[in-house]
Amino acid sequence: MVEVVPAVLVKSRGELLDSIARVKGSVSAVHIDMMDNEFVPNKTIGLGGLAELPNGVSYEFHWMVKNPERWIAKIKGKHLHLVHVETINRESWGTLKRICAKSGCRLGLVLNPETGIGKLEPYMKDASRVLVMAVHPGFYGQRYIPDVEAKIRALRAKFPKLEIEVDGGVNPETARRACGAGANVLAAASAVYSAKNPREAIKNISAAGCAKTVGGE
């Protein structure tokens, strides 16, 4: 099965709670974009807006920030934290592992479109997911970059059981492509939240993704 995770890019707690409410009950997880206006040229909701998030859904945080360990240390809960491999080194990854050992969180790695999968090697044994960016991070509404499919195929061939998530420009058409390349999790933003019926949009994206078998063309 292909999991669709609604991706939320907001600047206030009210917007965040509204976005969660619009999809809660239709998904098992919500993807929250966190930006610091340093790693990417945009800034989203701060840490204070993340306190006591609604129950009934799990959360994955996509940290488009410099020094992600400083942010993640301040988040309580058994969440999935997705960090850009472009922002870490062995020392900071060690810090992140210690943080998650204490809090029970999981770690995942993120690759920008131009970053090769070789950059993941020092960290893969401790990562539960790899998120492949199909756009350049920072803003909603960008077009999906088909070239990333080669990267997805390479990851799937090398790590057959890996959770591979794709983020950026995801809609029913691109869901088929991404899942055909080997993705099994899809983060969808505009295609979900710009739809008149977000719950129906989620079903349509999932159905399109399921139409392709992992590794298919």
For tokens 């349509």, the residue is 204
What pLDDT does residue 214 have?
Answer: 42
Give the CB-side neighbour count of residue 44, counting CA atoms within 13 A: 23
In this predicted structure, the answer to whether residue 186 has a pLDDT above a threshold of 50 is yes
On whether the CB atoms of residues 75 and 81 are closer than 8 A, the answer is: yes
pLDDT of residue 216: 41
CA distance 67 to 65: 6
% pLDDT > 90, the chain: 92
- Looking at residue 159, what is its pLDDT? 96
Confidence at residue 42, expressed as pLDDT on a 0 to 100 scale: 93
| Residue appearing with tokens 């020392």 | 91
CA atoms within 13 Å, Cβ hemisphere of 82: 26
- Give the mean model confidence (pLDDT) for residues 141-167: 96
- The model's confidence at residue 212, banded by pLDDT at 50, 70 and 90, is low
Residue range 3-210 in CATH 3.20.20.70: yes
Q: What is the per-residue pLDDT for 21?
A: 97
Q: What pLDDT sits at residue 171?
A: 96
**If you average pLDDT over every residue of the chain, what do you get?**
94
Domain ranges of the chain: 3-210
pLDDT tens for each residue of 10-27? 999 999 999 999 999 999
Of residues 158, 154, 209, the one with CA closest to residue 187: 209
Q: pLDDT tens-digit profile of 50-93? A: 999 999 999 999 999 999 999 999 999 999 999 999 999 999 99
Alpha carbon 136 to chain centroid, angstroms? 13
The residues assigned a catalytic role are 33, 167
Per DSSP, which regions of 85-184 are E strands? 106-111, 129-133, 163-167
Residue 211: pLDDT band (50, 70, 90) is: confident
pTM above 0.85, yes or no: yes
- Whole-number pLDDT of residue 139: 79
pLDDT in tens, 125-148: 999 999 999 999 887 778 999 999
Mean pLDDT of 28-44: 96
